[in-house]
Chain A
Amino acid sequence: MKGLPPVLITAIVLVAGFALCAVQFPNIASTRVVGNLLTDNAFLGIVATGMTFVIISGGIDLSVGSVIGFTTVFVALAIERWGVPPLVAFVAILALSAAFGAAMGAVIHVFDLPPFIVTLAGMFLARGASFLLSTESVPITAPVYSAVSDFALRLPGGGRLTAIAIIMLVIVIGGALLLNLTRFGANVYALGGSRVAANLMGVAVGRMTVRIYMLSSLLAGIAGIVFSFYTSAGYSLSAVGVELDSIAAVVIGGTLLTGGQGSVIGTFLGVLIQGLIQTYINFDGTLSSWWTKIATGVLLFAFIALQQGLVALARRPVAKRAGAVS
C-alpha cells in the first residue's frame, strides 16, 4: 500500500467510479458519452495542465479563470466588432495572456511576494478588464467557428472526438512530455523541492518562475479560445471559479499542493473524475448539478488526507533505504 503512487490511486478511483456508473446506467459505457465528456471538459483539461506546472513548482495561479473569461470576450469582440481575422485574434490573445503570466511571474520573483496574492490581483485585473470590454454576451458567428464545431473524428460506436477534445489531448500529452522529459520539467520539480537549494545548484530561479506562470497563462488563453469554440460566444462572466476546479483536479490527480511532486497525467485523470461525476448527475436527472461540487469536495478531502498520510509515512526514518555500499 505504501508504495502505491497517488496517480495510481486516482486511476483506480476513476475506473471504479466509471464501473459503478456503468452498472447503474449501462449507456455511460459508450464512446458517445466518453467523447462528450472529453469535449465538455476540454478547457478544464488545458488549464489544469498549466496549473499542474505551477503547483509542482510550489506556487499557485488563481488568475486562470479570469484569463479564460477575458479571452472569450476579447476574441468575440475582435472577430465580430473589430473585424480582425480569427487567426490574428488568436495569436494576439495568446501573446497577451503569455505576457500577462510572465508579468505575474516577474512580480512574484522580483518582489519575493507570495504567488497567492499576486495571482489574486491578476484574477481581479483580468476579470475587471473583461467587464471593461463588454458586460454582455457576444455571440460569435464567424465561419471558422461552425467549421471547428462540425469537425470531429468518428469513433466506433457512434462517438465523436471533437476538435477541442483533440486540442486538449494534444496539450495534455505535450505537457506530460515537457514535464517529464526536459530540463525545464526537471527544474519545475527542483523549484518545488526547495527554491534555496535549486538556486545553489545553479537553476535560474527567476527565469524559471517567469516561464512557469507564462506557461500557465498561455494555456489559460488557449483554454479561453477553446471555451469560445465550445460556447460560440464571449462573455465576461464565463469560467468563474474555474481556477478552483483546476486546482481540485490537480490535487485529486495526486500532485502535492506544497510542490515538488505530481504529474500531468494525474491531473488529466482528476479532470475526468470531475467530468464523470457531472455525467452521472446528468444521467440521473433528479439530482441538482451542484452535487458535482459536493462530490468534488468530498474527493478533495479524501485525497488531501491520503497525501498527508503518504507524506507522514515517507518521513518515518524506518522507511529510509540504507543505500547499499560495496
Chain B
Amino acid sequence: MENSLDPAPPLLDVRGISKSFGAVRALQEVDFTLRAGEIHALLGENGAGKSTLIKAVTGVFPRDAGIVRIGGEEVTPRSAKAALQAGIATVYQEVNLLPNLSVAQNLFLDRQPMRFGVVREGEMRRRATAQLAGFGLDIDVAAPLGSYSVAVQHVTAIARAVDLSARVLILDEPTASLDRHEVEILFKIMRQLAKRGIGIVFVSHFLDQVYEISDRITVLRNGRLVGERETASLPRLELIRMMLGRELAETTSARAATREHQAREVCASFENYGKAGYVAPFNLELRHGEVVGLAGLLGSGRTETARLVFGAERADGGQVKVEGAPVRLQSPRDGVRHGFGYCPEERKTDGIVAELTVRENIVLALQAKRGLYLPLSRREQDEIARRYVRMLDIRPPDPERPVGLLSGGNQQKVLLARWLATSPRLLVLDEPTRGIDVGAHAEIIRLIRELCDDGLALLVISSELDEIVTYSDRVIVLRDRAHVEELAGEAIDVGNILAAIAADSVTVALEAHT
C-alpha cells in the first residue's frame, strides 16, 4: 500500500550494457529506458551502436555486461524466440516472414485455430482479416504475402508481433523502403499501438520522421550514450550536433585559401538525374580540376548519389552529358568506359581483394577496361604498380605484398591507384578517410588536392565536415534523399553545412525557390 505512490517501473530498462567484438568496443555502458505507451527514437550515425544495442537486448548475441529489465523484472533472452516470449518483438527492415505462405498463415503460423487436428482455414482468415482491419488494412488474407508491397508485409509482421503479446516493439529502419503514403499508414499504426500501452523503439535516420512520430530521442555515438531528450524540446541543430559530435564553436576550421575561380570546363553534368525512392532528381555539374563535396547525415542520399553518378545504380529519369555530349550510363561498365572511377565506402567488402597482391589489385580495373582478350603483360603490370606505389607513397613499397596485410590508409591508396591507372576524368570517393589513422588521413587529403590540380574532377563524400570544408570547391548538402543546398566559395564552412542539414523542410523549400 505504501508503495502505491512509487512511479511504475519503466517498461524496458537497460542499464550499463557493454559489448565488445575482439578489441573493438561496440557498446560501452549504454543506458536506455522505454516507457509504456511511448515512441522512442534511437539515433546515431553508422557504427554508433544502434544495431548492437538492439541485438544485445534481444539476445541475438550475448552481452558482456549490463542488465535488461522488462516491467521491473530482469530478463536475459538467449534467442529472438526467447525475447519474444519475454515480450520484446523486433521487426527488421528485411521482413522476416514467409512470402510463399498466405497472409493469414503468416499471422498464425504454428498457432492456427484447430479443430479435430485440422486447421480451421475459414476461422483463421476471419481472424486475420479482423486483425489487419484493426490496422486499417483491407486485403485478401488468402493471397500469398509475397504478392503484397513491403508496407503490407511490414504491417503483417507488426500485427503478428503485437498479437504474440509483445509489450516492447522494436522497429529497425521500418520506413527505409516505404513511400510517403505508406509511411503515414505505418505511423498511424504506431500511434494506435502506443495508445494501447505498447512501447515502441523507432530506429531511423530520417530526422523529419523522427520529429513527426517520436516522444523521446536517445542518441548514441561511437558505442556510447550521448543523451536522452524529449523530442519537443530538442532543436534539430542540437540533435545533429549530438549525432555528429561537433561543437559549433570549433566550426571555423582553417580552410585552404580559395583558389581563383577560373572558368573550368565541365567534365560531366547530370540533369534532373534521379531514381524514385532512391534519390530525388538532382542537377549536378562536375568540372575538371574541382572537388565537389557531398555532405549530409547517414542515409541522406550521399552514397546513393555516388552510385548513380558512377552508373552502379540505374537512374529512372534525367540526362547525363560527358564533355558536353549526351551518353548512356546504365551500368558500372558504362561508367568505366566514360572514364569514371568509384572507390566505395566499404573498402573491405566492395573494394580491395585482400588475398591478391598490391600489383594485382592496382591493375584490376585497367584490365577490366581493356577486356579479357588484351591481357596486360607482366612487365606492364610491374611498371604500373611501381609507378603508383611511388607516386602515392604506398608502404611498404612492395607490389607483391597481399593487400590484406596493408594498413587501412595504404589499402585506400591502392584502391585509388587502381582507378588512377585507368586515367579517369572523374573520380568518386565515398568516405576515403574512414577507418584510417590520422597521419594517413592528412596524406589522403593532400592527394585529393593534388589530383584535382592535375585536372581530375572529384566527387567526395565524407562525414568529417572539417575535412570536406578543407578540400571542397563546392559542397552539396543532402537531406532525406534530396540535394537541398549548394555552398560555394566563402560560404563553405562547417556552421553553414550543419545549418543546411538541420534546416527544416519549409525553410529549405523557400530557399530553393528564391
Contacts and interface: CB of A to CB of B under 8 A. Distances in A.
Interface of A: 181-183, 186-187, 189-190, 192-194, 196-203, 260-261, 314, 319-326
Contacts of A190: 98, 101, 105, 109
Given A183-B114, A201-B109, A326 B98 contact: no
Interface in B98-135: 98-101, 105-106, 109-112, 114, 117-119, 121, 133
Interface string B72-111: 0000000011001000000000001111110001100111
B118 A194 contact: no
Contacts of B99: 193
Interface centre among B96, B98, B99, B143 (most CB of A within 10 A): B98
Contacts of B112: 183, 186
A132 B84 CA distance: 52
Given A192-B100, A320-B149, A323-B148, A203 B109 contact: yes
Nearest to B84: A202
Nearest to B152: A323
A251 B112 CA distance: 29
9 contacts: A194-B98, A198-B98, A199-B81, A203-B109, A320-B149, A321-B143, A323-B149, A325-B138, A326-B137
B374 to A, nearest CB: 35
Given A186-B112, A200-B80, A323-B151, 10 more contacts: A189-B101, A189-B105, A190-B105, A201-B106, A202-B110, A320-B148, A322-B149, A325-B136, A325-B137, A326-B133
A325 B149 contact: no
Nearest to A324: B138
B121 to A, nearest CB: 8
Contacts of B185: 325
Given A182-B118, A323-B137, A323-B152, A189 B96 contact: no
Interface residues of B, number: 34
B91 to A, nearest CB: 11
B101 A193 contact: yes
A202 B109 contact: yes
Nearest to B146: A314
Contacts of A322: 149
A11 B100 CA distance: 22
B147 A320 contact: yes
A203 B100 contact: no
B100 A193 contact: yes
Nearest to B164: A202
Nearest to A204: B110
B117 A182 contact: yes
B472 to A, nearest CB: 37
A319 B81 CA distance: 33
B110 A189 contact: no
Contact of B147 (A194, A202, A319): A319
B139 interface: yes
Nearest to A317: B149
A65 to B, nearest CB: 29
A313 to B, nearest CB: 11
Contact of A197 (B81, B97, B133): B97
A257 B121 CA distance: 26
